[in-house]
Every structure is written in C-alpha cells, then in structure tokens.
Amino acid sequence: VQLQASGGGSVQAGDPLRLSCVASGLPFGTYALAWFRQASGEEREYVAAISRRGTAQYFANFVKGRFAISRDDAKNTMYLQMNSLRPKDTAVYYCAATRSGNTLYYSRETEYDIWGQGTLVTVSS
C-alpha cells in the first residue's frame, strides 16, 4: 500500500501548480483522500479533502477559492490544483487516505492511516 505525491517545485507568487498523488495497493475508490502541508519549523496542517467518489470537497479556510481538489479513480490519482500561490504556501505537501466516511473529521491527521512521502512546494515573492 503506497501513496506517491509529486508535482512540487519552485514557483513565483501568483503562479499555479498542480500536485498529484498516485495510489497503489489499495481499493482507491473506497478511500477518502486529503492533502496536508508542513512548513519548515511548523506543525503539519490540513489543506483539503475529497470524499469517496469525489462527491464532496472540503477546504481549509486559507485556501478556499485558490485551491481545488479532485480525483480520478480510473487512474488511482488525486490532484491538488493550486492557484494564486503565496510565499506562505511554501511547505512540504503530503497526501493521505482514510477508509472513514465521517466527513466531520476529515481535517484531522489522526483520521488518516496511509500517508505519502511529501512533495516540496516553494513560492518566492
């Protein structure tokens, strides 16, 4: 069972970037998925989540209107489209998966039992 995040890089403020998270070894469609991020010296924080089958999406307040989360179950892949990036968005971004259907807890790290290795996003001003 593995999640592989990719797509990170160095961009300028205002640029877009799309992250991908490819899953292997798990029944992808039965998992809800999320992105978290961790800036240097700070705790990991919730960014966005998407329900099983992609029927609902959830976002942290600081990314609403700028980021979009989606999934392609045929490709076992989740995406995070990030627009209007800011220097404060600089962080390592992690994808995570959970079998839980309890949407109330999707922002909690403890809800997720499968994690990817992270991909670094650096936004310069």
Per-residue model confidence (pLDDT) at position 70: 98
**What is residue 102's predicted lDDT score, i.e. its pLDDT?**
84
Count CA within 13 A, CB hemisphere, residue 79.
12
Say yes or no to pLDDT of 104 above 90: no
Question: What per-residue confidence (pLDDT) applies to 7?
Answer: 98
Mean pLDDT, rounded, of the chain: 96
Q: Mean of the pLDDT values across residues 1-11?
A: 97
Through-space distance between the first and last CA atoms of the chain, rounded to whole angstroms: 38
pLDDT(41) > 90: yes
> What pLDDT is stored for residue 114 in this prediction?
96
Q: Would you state the pLDDT for residue 101?
A: 82
Distance CA 101, CA 96 (A): 14
CA distance 67 to 82: 4
* 54-95 confidence digits (pLDDT tens): 999 999 999 989 999 999 999 999 999 999 999 999 999 999
